[in-house]
Amino acid sequence: MAQPVKVRITYCAECGYETQTLQLAKDLMYKFQDQLSSIELIPWRDGAFDVSVNGELVHSMYRDGGFPPSQTVIEAVEKQLAA
């Protein structure tokens, strides 16, 4: 059985990133349903938009620029589920 996968989305709460945060969360919920152990939303500051899957940073706005395509995060989750 695949290990439970935890996704964390850290978003700048004073930058208007709620829309992108909720869209990504929704895409993950629809795609994986009960295969995820949790999706944690962390309100932060300073322009952050980070996504980690089981503790591995798969996207950082500082590092990678912009918002991640949902598919990037979906593939990172699929990799963890297959591990």
Summarize as ranges the residues that interact with other proteins (CB under 8 A): 8, 10, 14-16, 18, 40, 42, 44-46, 48, 50, 52, 55, 57, 60, 62
DSSP characters for 27-51? Answer: HHHHHHGGGEEEEEEEEE-TT-EEE
Burial class (CB in 10 A: 0-12, 13-18, 19+), 17: buried
Of residues 15 and 25, the one with the C-beta less far from other proteins: 15
Interatomic CA distance for residues 16 and 2, integer angstroms: 35
Of residues 15 and 74, the one with the C-beta less far from other proteins: 15
Shortest approach of other proteins to residue 67 CB, angstroms? Answer: 13
Shortest approach of other proteins to residue 25 CB, angstroms? Answer: 14
Of residues 11 and 70, the one with the C-beta less far from other proteins: 11
Shortest approach of other proteins to residue 74 CB, angstroms? Answer: 19
Residues 6+ apart with CB under 8 A from 63: 57
